[in-house]
Amino acid sequence: MLRLIIRQTNWAILGNFLTFLLGLIVTTYVVREIGTELWGQYKAAHDFVIISDTVLSLGFPFVILKFFPNLIQYDLEKSKSIINSIFKYLIVSSLLFISIVFFFQDVLSNLLYSDYNDFSFLLFLVCLHVPISLFLGIINSLYRSILKIKELIIYGSVVYSLIRATLTFIIFHYTEFLDLKIRLFYFVSIELFGQLVILFILYFLLNKRIKIFSKKFTFDSAPVDEKIRAYGWVMYKNSLISLLSTQAIPFLLSILLLAEQRGIYAIMLTVTGVSMFLNKNLRKVFSPIISKLFLEKKIDKMNEIYKDTTFILNIFTIPFSFLLIFFIDELLLVFKLEYQQIIYCKPLIIILIISKMLSLIVGNSGSIMTMAGNEREETTIQFIRGSSNVIFALLFLYFMNYGLEAVVLIVFCSTLFEASSQFYFIKKKIGITPFNKDFTNLILFSLPIIYYAIFQNIDINVFHYFFIPILIYLLYYILFFEKIKSVYNKIKK
């Protein structure tokens, strides 16, 4: 089972590393071309899209991940019937959503984003992502449920990133004379085109493999088991609460602060999010496998996989986080930030990186909570986290007029609360933990390493870009060679 996880995750790591690299290059290029203010408007519109997408999804991707690994294998016709019903809903809801945004774009812009200039059309254009995202969410979940991560990564990540990057560089090169806002419209259009291409490719490849999509699409309702309905409703409520905990702060930033500050915060998240790319890829494979093991009551196997995957996750990401902190000044210069902006952002980004590291210590705890019978506890955690984020964000941003420093403090505290709460419930309810002797030693060894990265004052040159990464990873792999070898032997079996 560990071999399956790692084999599928290897494709995810390889593909998403290229995706991350291209995405980072495109992001820095676009930010440098249009500036932080317009980038902030773009991210504000995307915040609205994420909220809309989650509200309209009704938890269908969670249902597919939970039930379809077995359902596709044993009852393909029932799977087709459920997918047909889901697609029927997505078509109707997408058309209704786009119509509402089109006719009320000015009202939404003036009501929510009154400080943004000429924002209404950008909001509508970005909202065209919602229908595509809804259908892609279903397709992606189906790929994950049958553990076809390779195709998902190749087309959903790599090909899309290549289309996005290539068209962005070409079109931006030949539109230098145009208004910056027009160039941003072109960028959004490129993203929409790329997502549409990928949606059709993934749809036809998946249907060719397992024939899950009915040739005769109808609008007749299909019966769905009450167990599936109940789980879907629980997970939908959980997704709304998770939305509250993850998107409340970006959304409040968008409507309470200036677009430039939203743009700077987006840059900060881009830099700190780099450390999470492995966790996101591992989660794509981890979730359906945890669901399957839990249904089969193989708790000991879950415990073993939880420990091994968490160690693998951290042996890669802790040194990587060290490098992010070590080269933070150079990374921020890439985004063409001014000196004062770098001085302001640097300590905030370091705090955000540390918060990401804290969440990685408990591994894929969120997947275990939602796929192993702790949905209610996960909902409670996310509700408390989200409510606290809203209350403190309103207090600090609206009533006390603080800026991004308050936001970072809120994010750090809420991440610490989430990680510790998930660890507590997983240990109490399931009886498994990510900790063993090797993992504990890894954490203890890393503390002085991270401390040094924060407070070092070395004049960086080209030599350091090559020497420091090699040195830090070599150091970790030598010290933890026996554990790495042990995990590798399990993968080979």
* Higher per-residue confidence, 346 vs 305: 346
Which residue bears the tokens 């160690």?
Answer: 311
* Phi, psi (deg, nearest 5) at residue 460: -75, 135
Q: What is the C-alpha end-to-end distance of the chain, expressed in Å?
A: 10
pLDDT at 164 over 90: yes
Least confident of 113-122, 143-152, 343-352: 143-152
DSSP H or E stretch at residue 10: helix 2-57
| Cα separation, 7 vs 412, whole angstroms | 33
Contacts of 181 (CB under 8 A, 6+ apart): 38, 118, 122
- pLDDT > 90 fraction of the chain, expressed in percent and rounded: 28
> 349 to each of 56, 342, 412, how far by Cα in Å?
33, 10, 11
Which residue bears the tokens 């705090």?
Answer: 351
* Cβ 312 vs Cβ 171: under 8 Å: no
DSSP H or E stretch at residue 351: helix 339-361
C-alpha dihedral sign at 491, 427, 410, 350: negative
C-alpha dihedral sign at 460, 463, 466, 472: negative
pLDDT of residue 277: 61
| Cα separation, 43 vs 269, whole angstroms | 11
pLDDT at 35 over 80: yes
Other Cβ atoms less than 10 A from the Cβ of 103: the count is: 10
| Cα separation, 253 vs 233, whole angstroms | 30
pLDDT tens sequence across 208-247: 766 666 555 554 555 667 777 777 787 788 788 878 888 8
* Cβ 159 vs Cβ 198: under 8 Å: yes
pLDDT at 98 over 90: yes
The letter for the amino acid at 28 is T
pLDDT at 32 over 80: yes
Which residue bears the tokens 């909001």?
Answer: 123
pLDDT at 407 over 60: yes
pLDDT of residue 490: 66
CA nearest 337: which of 106, 39, 52, 21?
39
**What integer is the mean pLDDT of 118-126?**
92
| Cα separation, 203 vs 1, whole angstroms | 28
The letter for the amino acid at 229 is R
**Band of residue 291 on the pLDDT scale cut at 50, 70, 90:** low
* Cβ 267 vs Cβ 352: under 8 Å: no
pLDDT of residue 366: 78
pLDDT at 463 over 80: yes
DSSP per position, 132-193: HHHHHHHHHHHHHHTT-HHHHHIIIIIIHHHHHHHHHHHHHHTTTTS-HHHHHHHHHHHHHH
**pTM value?**
0.81
